[in-house]
Structure 1
């Protein structure tokens, strides 16, 4: 293969179509995310997600031989055909998808050389960031998770749209918070399904506080649920945003004298706890606080809710259809 090829057609290829041609199909869906049993390693529970709208994938269940945990279709193919070279992988994608490759010459080559060290341009636009309270559907979603008051000032309403793909030009909104890279982690509800996505690159979220005391959570909703029970806490906070980011969290946690760990009470959460304590034995498992539940937020939602005098019965059930992105 020529050293320089035009791979624009490769980048625009549907990851779902690509996987289907390789014989891999989603086991289930949640909102706009499709869940696959990872084809990069052995697993029984589908934990590799594909967001077709954004053209990205992420493997939440663990590492593979390539060390690549997510990205675009080329990243996926590099993992799938590891340790093939970049140009071998491009040729394989071309063969699978019947996409002709043509040599890039002249100005195209010069332009691509200049882009080698640059991050790919996102194909979404963040149109507006608003305080929580502007959109009733987001308010109601956060109420349904029991953390509306804690979300104020800690989450924002993120209004965004896509510049290409099946949802080109359509506008969406979700509750969101930023991770350490400045990307927006999104949460909302579509019908009965919780919507999860990230606009940009995944990373942990860190909130500075007490330089000696740290509390660490898998999810942001669990952190806000804990904050509801501990409103006076000054702990520093780490939210993984994905158990795949555990190594980063361990590195950031090393300097704290006291570490309280609030991971999910499931297989992935237990594995993360074991690995964390292997590296930092002084970390304390605090999941016994919600020992009958999967996580802190689930425990909070199981508590009886005091209905205010002016609220109608079954307020959330009556308004469920309005919970849209």
Structure 2
């Protein structure tokens, strides 16, 4: 196959796309591994909803395999299936991706089992830690907004204890953020805030939502519900709740995954509205908010 196009680094070929790190690319799309065993990274499948991770990436081979559908391959094969497109269209997609792609160093394979340990929530309380309040302020989110919607969560991974700003999801799991980490406890789910409004605003992550609520403190806020997906991959799970509303405003990241999800949603129904024009030129709402201070 000889299809290629020109990007910032010159001619882009299928061979170059196949060499890109699949784990890196999945991270750009918002997918994080549920567990890691040696060089094998296990994910909830990007192709469907599931509760047990069946999608594996061997980072040594840089190949994926989805046990649920019995298919696998390289990054080009993944893109054809994920975007439901042709090989030629894959080249167009990656010409944009490569303009901002910064490769991460491949890890040296370990000989021991490095299975990701589960996160255990030990307790939650009102936000009081000075270091967490400084962290929230560094993201230009008002402390009172963070205190209204989040908790200070104490959690354990193995023998180590940590604390973080925690946003609870609808199944009781927490998205956990501090200056050093971005993790989440099981079970993974969306977070809904339902006030019986006819309009709903949807956000990929907790800091985009907190940024929005910070902005809204400066104006008279119309009644609306909110959904935080906690990963763009959770969009399908949110649809039954979203489509009960008359108007659905999408504040997704302005990246490949965000644009793809927005485009797919707007093709479903005229109820969906792309609201990301507010922060055009920035990756997400929080980045735009920080730039405005």
TM-score normalised by structure 1 residue count: 0.59
Going from structure 1 to structure 2, the CA distance change for 1:155 and 1:47 (only over 3 Å counts) comes to: closer
Q: Distance in 1 between matches of 2:178 and 2:27?
A: 27
Distance in 2, matches of 1:145 and 1:58, equals 31
SS of 2:187's equivalent in the other structure is coil
CA contact (8 A) 1:227 1:233 kept: no
Larger Rg: 1
Distance 1:180 1:242, change over 3 A: same
Q: Are 2:265 and 1:270 aligned? A: no
Residues 143-182 of structure 1: pairs in structure 2 closer than 5 A? 143-147=137-141, 148-162=143-157, 168-182=158-172
> How do 1:74-153 residues align onto structure 2 when only pairs under 5 Å count?
75-76=54-55, 80=65, 82=67, 123-133=118-128, 135-147=129-141, 148-153=143-148
Tell me the C-alpha RMSD between the 2 structures. 3.6
Local SS of the residue matching 1:302: helix
2:186 aligned with 1:185, yes or no?
no
| Structure 2 unmatched runs, 5+ | 1-19, 58-63, 71-110
Alignment pair present for 1:227 and 2:213: yes
Q: Which residue matches 2:81?
A: none
Q: Which of 54, 63, 84 is the matching residue for 2:47?
A: 63
Q: 1:54 to 1:224 in 2, by over 3 A?
A: farther
Q: Counterpart of 2:194?
A: 208
- Distance of aligned partners of 1:245 and 1:81 in 2 relative to their CA distance in 1, 3 Å threshold: closer
If the length of structure 2 is used for normalisation, what is the TM-score?
0.64
Tell me if the contact between 1:215 and 1:259 (Cα under 8 Å) persists in the aligned partners.
yes
* Residue 96 of structure 2: aligned partner: none
Q: How far apart, CA to CA, are the structure 2 residues paired with 1:233 and 1:44? A: 35
The number of aligned residues is: 221
Q: Deviation at 1:302?
A: 0.3
